[in-house]
Amino acid sequence: MQVDTNIPLPSKINLRADLDKLEVGQSFAFENIKRNTVANAISGYFHKVSNKRFTISADPENPDSKSRVWRIEDAEVNQISA
């Protein structure tokens, strides 16, 4: 067995913070396996407490293995559900 030292831990992804940083028109790609996680973060947080809106679709550059989330136009204030 080989024992290694000084191998950095992978950075933890803070999905909510990453989504919150997106400006309208920006996007990022992620593995298809995380699609439900991303969708749940959006609907469970942003669509309830903010007017930020997102859409998820297959990544045009790698549709078989990746999806992409885009920040789209904000919802009107009166469309936000309480």
Q: Domain for residue 3, yes or no? A: no
Q: Domain for residue 5, yes or no? A: no
Domain that holds residue 52: 15-79
pTM, two decimals, is 0.74
Total number of domains in the chain: 1
Confidence tier at 10 by pLDDT (50, 70, 90): low
Tens digits of per-residue pLDDT, 16-70? 889 999 999 999 999 999 999 999 989 988 888 888 999 999 999 999 999 999 9
Q: Domain for residue 22, yes or no? A: yes
Q: Domain for residue 30, yes or no? A: yes
Q: Domain for residue 55, yes or no? A: yes
- Do residues 71 and 22 touch, judged by C-beta distance below 8 A? yes
Q: Domain for residue 7, yes or no? A: no
Residue 43, exposed/middle/buried by CB under 10 A (0-12, 13-18, 19+)? Answer: exposed
